[in-house]
Amino acid sequence: MSVATAAMRRPRWLLFVTLAVTIVVVDQLVKAAIAANYQVGVPVAVVGDFVRIDVSHNQGALFGLFQGSAVIFGVGSLAVIALIVWYESRAGGSALVTLALGLLVGGAVGNLLDRLRLGYVVDFVDAGIGGWRWYTFNVADAAISTAIVLLVILALLPPDRSATG
């Protein structure tokens, strides 16, 4: 394997860590601002009824499933974060994979910090039309969802044959 090929396959730690840390910092700052300025359960219109700030305390997982399981999800998050970092260390050849994994770790750590500090995750973005609402989410959830969509797209794309020599 040439030096150039080895360098291309090496994990992109700077991108990975910078993205993850940025997601965590933005997530925590936005949640702190929301918690300081809005009341739980009192929706405030941002873009008419389509997008609202509606603060909630999610003690479950994505989409509000499994309420009251914050401790279990906290422990599970630690295992998932370790697995993602391990995978990045092994598979770090693609900048897009590194991007997705950085988003995933940043989102997981952001929500983990809430679970450890508060016992719940602060959610606040509420989108929908009338009674048809999407789940309430936060910056960390958006990063996780974006990462999952990106990973699915990457899994469906044919491999780049030119990179294998």
Residue for token pair 């794309």 = 157
Catalytic residue among 49, 123, 126, 160: 123
Catalytic residue among 27, 114, 126, 141: 141
What six digits make up the tokens of 59?
Answer: 């003690």
114 is catalytic: no
Burial of 10 (0-12, 13-18, 19+ CB in 10 A): exposed
One-letter identity of residue 69:
S
123 is catalytic: yes
Q: Report the b/e string of 65-104 with b at 16+ CB within 10 A.
A: eeeeebeebbeebeeebeebbeebeeebebeebbbbbbbb
Closest C-alpha to 12, from 128, 108, 80, 105: 105
Active site residues: 123, 141
